[in-house]
Amino acid sequence: MIVDELPPAPDPATDSPTEFSAKAAASVLAQKAMVPQINAALGAMSMFAAGGAYAFQYAFDSSTVNADPGIGKLRLGSATQNATTALRIDNAMSGGADLSQVWADLLAVTSSVKGSLRIVKASDVSKWMVLDVTGSTAATGYCNLSVSVRAASAANPFVNGDALMVYVQRAGDVSSGAQIKVAEATITSTVSLINFLDIFRPDCNKYIIECEGIAPSANETLFLRLAFGGVVVTGSFYFSGPAGSSMTASGAFVISGSINATNGKNSAMTIEIRNTNAAAFKSISARGCVGASNGGIAQEGYLNSSAAASGFQLSAANMTAGTVRVYGILN
């Protein structure tokens, strides 16, 4: 930020009355113009002081084209800024310093969320966005980041040419065997299906599904069906028990055959799906209880397929309450 130099000051010893008056007027106008420049400079200094792991200066480019925005510039992938899923940021910040290694360090994180970016308008800290970085795609001269907007001061906080501060916070690495939450659904109205059809990940081969308080309006059977490519598979593919009997009647894996309006309200079931990425058997098991009078449930089964599973579906007629949480176990 550069503050403009003031014009020559009036000199009563040498200036004529007309010259003195003109110089005085120019000096006053210049000082008034300096106020926003000084405030912007102070704002930038304050943001540097607030800090973070990294803090860099960029300018906002309002184009949404997937291309290098140019040295010292960044752009978003959506005209509605708080709905963007992409951030294109040049490898060089304002002034030309190369930040390639900073972006490489961020993207080397093994967690699904690599870190976060806090982007703030340099002259107005009330205009900002916070984005989670989840990955990147190939680019030359710039970094094409996959992002999720966590929060923003407005739908479109920035305009073309805005001077920005970008704060980079790297997330921690997650090791093999760690359990991460990948999805959750709470039933607030009557439903018959709970769909998680496309949530399985290549870095997880095992999932824990916690069903809490599933409450149907009458006696119901709770089924599970796996999805492939986002499409549910039904039919005589599911087997259960030591004998491996085909479950052709339901075309699904039976989690519990006796949840009801009274006992279901106290139900707590844990479902485990293993080998989701294998092009062969998917192992399924269910443990838990469905009310004091029902006793415990214990079901084991499998599905033989030739592709990796993409997700699953839970179904029971007229489910009126309950929460389902899905956790993945990292490979």
Same domain assignment for residues 113 and 239:
no
**CA–CA separation, 300 vs 271, rounded Å?**
10
What pLDDT is recorded for position 244?
A: 43
Two tokens, residue 265? 């309200």
Burial class of residue 169, CB neighbours in 10 A (0-12, 13-18, 19+)? middle
Neighbours of 280 (CB within 10 A): 11
Decide if 262 is inside a domain.
Answer: yes
Number of helical (H) and strand (E) elements in the chain, helices listed first:
2, 19
Decide if 29 is inside a domain.
Answer: no
Element (H, E) at 101: helix 100-107
> Which of 107, 139, 170 is the last residue before a domain boundary?
170
Distance from the Cα of residue 172 to its chain's centroid: 16
Same domain assignment for residues 311 and 204:
yes
Q: Are 94 and 130 in contact (CB under 8 A)?
A: no
Decide if 247 is inside a domain.
Answer: yes
Same domain assignment for residues 264 and 322:
yes
Distance from the Cα of residue 253 to its chain's centroid: 32
| Structural domain range at position 323 | 179-330
Same domain assignment for residues 133 and 192:
no
Same domain assignment for residues 161 and 302:
no
**CA–CA separation, 188 vs 322, rounded Å?**
8
> Which of 109, 136, 170 is the last residue before a domain boundary?
170
Two tokens, residue 177? 């065997």
Decide if 27 is inside a domain.
Answer: no
What pLDDT is recorded for position 242?
A: 46
Q: Are 316 and 214 in contact (CB under 8 A)?
A: yes
Decide if 226 is inside a domain.
Answer: yes
What pLDDT is recorded for position 75?
A: 97
Decide if 10 is inside a domain.
Answer: no
What pLDDT is recorded for position 172?
A: 72
Considering the entire predicted model, what is its pTM? 0.51
Same domain assignment for residues 214 and 317:
yes
> Which of 137, 170, 203 is the last residue before a domain boundary?
170
Same domain assignment for residues 195 and 157:
no
| Cα dihedral 121→125→130→136 (10° resolution) | 20
Q: What residues pair up with 124 in beta bridges, in sequence order?
A: 121
Could you identify the residue written with the tokens 């939450």? 181
Same domain assignment for residues 185 and 165:
no
DSSP string, 243-303: TTEE-TTTTSEEEEEEE-TTTGGG-EEEEEEE-TTSSSEEEEEEEEES-TTT-EEEEEEEE
Decide if 42 is inside a domain.
Answer: no
CA atoms within 13 A on the CB side of 244: 6
Q: What are the backbone dihedrals phi and psi of residue 209, each rounded to the nearest 5 degrees, phi first?
A: -115, 120
Same domain assignment for residues 306 and 189:
yes
The domain tally of the chain equals 2
From first to last of the 331 residues of the chain, give the pLDDT tens digit.
455 677 888 888 888 989 888 888 888 888 877 776 666 665 555 445 444 557 888 999 999 999 999 999 999 999 999 999 999 999 999 888 899 888 988 888 877 788 899 999 988 889 999 999 988 988 999 999 999 999 999 999 999 999 999 999 888 766 678 788 888 999 888 899 999 999 998 888 999 999 888 777 666 777 888 999 999 988 766 776 544 444 544 577 877 665 655 544 446 788 899 999 888 888 888 776 554 444 456 677 788 788 889 999 998 888 888 899 999 998 8
Same domain assignment for residues 163 and 188:
no
Same domain assignment for residues 148 and 96:
yes
Element (H, E) at 179: strand 179-187
What pLDDT is recorded for position 149?
A: 93
CATH number of the domain enclosing 273: 2.60.120
What pLDDT is recorded for position 196?
A: 95
CB neighbour list of residue 18: distance below 8 Å, 6 or more residues apart: none
Same domain assignment for residues 161 and 197:
no
Decide if 46 is inside a domain.
Answer: no
Running DSSP on this structure, what letter comes out for residue 237?
T
